[in-house]
Amino acid sequence: MRLLIIHLLFLVSMCLCSSCNDTECKHIASNGVYYWKTILELDSNDYHFMNRHEVERIYLRMFDVAIEEPATTFEAVVPNASLQMSHSNDSNREVINYLHSKQVIPVIYITIEALKAAQGHEEQLARQIVERVRRMCSYHELPNVVGLQIDCDWTVSTELSYFALCDSARSLIAQKKLPWALSSTIRLHQLSREAPPVDYGVLMVYNTGDFSDPDAQNSIISLDDVKPYLKHLDNYPLHLDVAYPTYSWQLLFSDRQFVGLLNGVNVADTTCFATSGKNSYRTLCNMCYQNKFIRKDDIIRAENSDFSEIMTVKNAIERRLHKRAHNNILYHLDQQNLSKYTADEIDKIYSTDQSH
């Protein structure tokens, strides 16, 4: 009887494993972080952060796919801002050795203009992307490459083209027998649409609002912006991991028109700025900052990824996921921003326990 029970338990466990696909099973309990810089170099703080928080997956931005203006044809679709290694050979060896204990997922960002220009040439673009990623991983000797992620803010008019691109990429990965799971970023507005033909998605819970809106309070993350889309999570057919922001930025407005991004302006300097709202500051004089001219009476809105807002949004999302296995990912590995959080706060963002 005891042997029979053991045998039955074994069969049940086998059935449970077979009920989820390989991609789903691989996604259990694996903290992740995006690396979104053009030079791959890690310092002691980066290593300490990833070790302390058991970060197992690194989503590594490899290059953008953009278009050379003013042309709008497929021939103008080109890779841009490709990832490079540090100039220090010792640093490179240290990084590569460290990555042997991690899972690396190259990420390719495709602009909507490039996607439009590639319509009708999706298979060719997919071939170029897969082959370029494969060569870059080989050239940089990146170990443990387990996936490829395509990041694109596709819309209703470009959905079919994006899906054709993903479908071709997945077929090519299989043909080349690459050990890669194909994933796609999923923006909130895309949750109401059909899921792309990929192995899993990463829900981007950042840039949730319109940063060009002069009346927005925080376009990085806000429950008010996220809440209307949560109803689509219940039955979304793809496995979803979730990415949360840990960055901050400053937005410059002139005559209520968005001018551009800033970073590091000392808005606390009362000789140059006066408070004009909860997180907005009016300039008191003309000034230049990092080759950008800021006019008197321009508005700078300082936005942060506030821990309490992240947790409010995170708890709302996890209630909708109905305890479906998923991982949380931070965007992105930057110590200047990550240092604003305590280790306990980072652990709570990573946790999938709703009791936090």
Three-state DSSP at 146 gives coil
pTM of the model: 0.91
| Same-domain check for residues 263 and 163 | no
Residue 13 lies in a domain: no
Residue 15 lies in a domain: no
Label residue 162 exposed, middle or buried (CB < 10 Å: 0-12, 13-18, 19+): buried
The reported pLDDT for the residue numbered 21 is 43
| Same-domain check for residues 79 and 97 | yes
Pick the closest to residue 52 from 354, 330, 288, 355 (CA basis): 330
| pLDDT digit string, tens, across residues 164-174 | 999 999 999 99
Distance CA 128, CA 133 (A): 8
CATH of the domain at 84: 3.20.20.80
DSSP state of 278: S
Residue 12 lies in a domain: no
Residue 72 lies in a domain: yes
Single residue among 268, 283, 304 that ends a domain in this structure: 304
Residue 142 has pLDDT above 80, yes or no: yes
Residue 41 lies in a domain: yes
| Same-domain check for residues 313 and 298 | no
The reported pLDDT for the residue numbered 323 is 79
| Same-domain check for residues 37 and 77 | yes
| Same-domain check for residues 42 and 163 | yes
**Residue 202: domain span:** 32-247+307-350
Three-state DSSP at 229 gives helix
| pLDDT digit string, tens, across residues 191-236 | 999 999 999 999 999 999 999 999 999 999 999 999 999 999 999 9
| Same-domain check for residues 257 and 110 | no
Residue 1 has pLDDT above 80, yes or no: no
| Same-domain check for residues 96 and 193 | yes
Residue 188 lies in a domain: yes
Residue 77 lies in a domain: yes
| Same-domain check for residues 58 and 41 | yes
Residue 5 lies in a domain: no
Structural domains of the chain, count: 2
Distance CA 93, CA 257 (A): 46
Token reading at 144: 């443990």
Q: How confident is the model at residue 12 (pLDDT cuts 50, 70, 90)?
A: very low
| Same-domain check for residues 98 and 37 | yes
Distance CA 182, CA 100 (A): 20
> How does the average pLDDT of the chain come out, rounded?
91
| Same-domain check for residues 54 and 184 | yes
| Same-domain check for residues 166 and 297 | no
| Same-domain check for residues 166 and 237 | yes
Distance CA 31, CA 8 (A): 33
- Mean pLDDT, residues 114-131: 97
Residue 148 has pLDDT above 70, yes or no: yes
